[in-house]
Amino acid sequence: MVLLVSTLAVGSLPASAATCDGVAIPCSIGDTGPGGGIVFYDAGTAETGGRYMEIAPQGWSGKVRDPLRPLCPRKKDGYWTVFPSGMELGDGEVNTRRIAKKCGKKSAASLAQKYRGGGKKDWFLPSDAEFVMAVAMLELRAGLAGTWFWTSSQGSDIPNTAIRMRNSGWSMYGYKDNRFRVRPIRAFGTG
């Protein structure tokens, strides 16, 4: 993917951004996407997964604060579920499907998949790189500052941990059964 970032400085996005669909109406960073989220990524051209990415708005769950969920609840036998996962742009959707399948309905991934913002059914838990991009472009506007969020990236061979992300793209490993905040994203604009 080629990364195109708006020339606007982070934090100087327009107060009332346009609504776009990514096909008839192109999107700019900070616009409201077709799912009602905030556009944070533009690849420059339509790609297999989509040209744009949007992150669900603050309050997406109907609550002021993002919901807390474990990435993967601990199994009764005490063993941790291990799942292969990518960390790059475009990996979040596949990671989310794997986590939801292995970890069940109480996982952060399943919660992200259930979101139906804008009537869209393709929301997922962002990969490490996808969340870093969202934070870099929209940290304050999207309400991402000051708390920990799960990503869908395992990022190590340690079976009981995965990557959690905080403001300014600061990440560290967290135990998969810890409860951190969930914020879905989606890709769109395949042409």
The reported pTM is 0.85
In a domain, residue 7? The reply is no
Confidence grade of residue 2 (pLDDT, cut at 50, 70, 90): very low
Top-confidence residue, 85 or 34: 34
Instruction: Give the DSSP H or E segment for 103.
Output: helix 92-103
Would the pLDDT of 56 be above 80? yes
Question: SS3 for 122?
Answer: coil
Would the pLDDT of 77 be above 60? no
Close Cβ partners of 136 (under 8 Å, ≥ 6 residues apart): 10, 169
In a domain, residue 28? The reply is no
Give the separation between CA 58 and CA 18, rounded to whole angstroms.
17
Tell me how many domains the chain contains: 1
In a domain, residue 3? The reply is no
Would the pLDDT of 14 be above 60? no
Express each pLDDT in 114-172 by its tens digit.
999 999 999 999 999 998 888 887 766 666 777 888 999 987 777 788 888 776 667 88
Give the separation between CA 55 and CA 45, rounded to whole angstroms.
19
Which has the minimum average pLDDT: 17-21, 39-43, 78-82, 118-122?
78-82
Least Cα distance to 92 among 42, 50, 143 occurs for 50
Confidence grade of residue 41 (pLDDT, cut at 50, 70, 90): very high
In a domain, residue 115? The reply is yes
In a domain, residue 18? The reply is no
Residue 61: domain span: 38-188
DSSP for 140-187 reads TTTT-TTS-EE-S---SS-TTEEEEEEGGGEEEEEETTSEEE---EEE
Which has the minimum average pLDDT: 72-86, 158-172, 173-187?
72-86
Express each pLDDT in 58-74 by its tens digit.
899 999 899 999 998 87
In a domain, residue 4? The reply is no
For the chain, give the longest Cα–Cα distance: 52
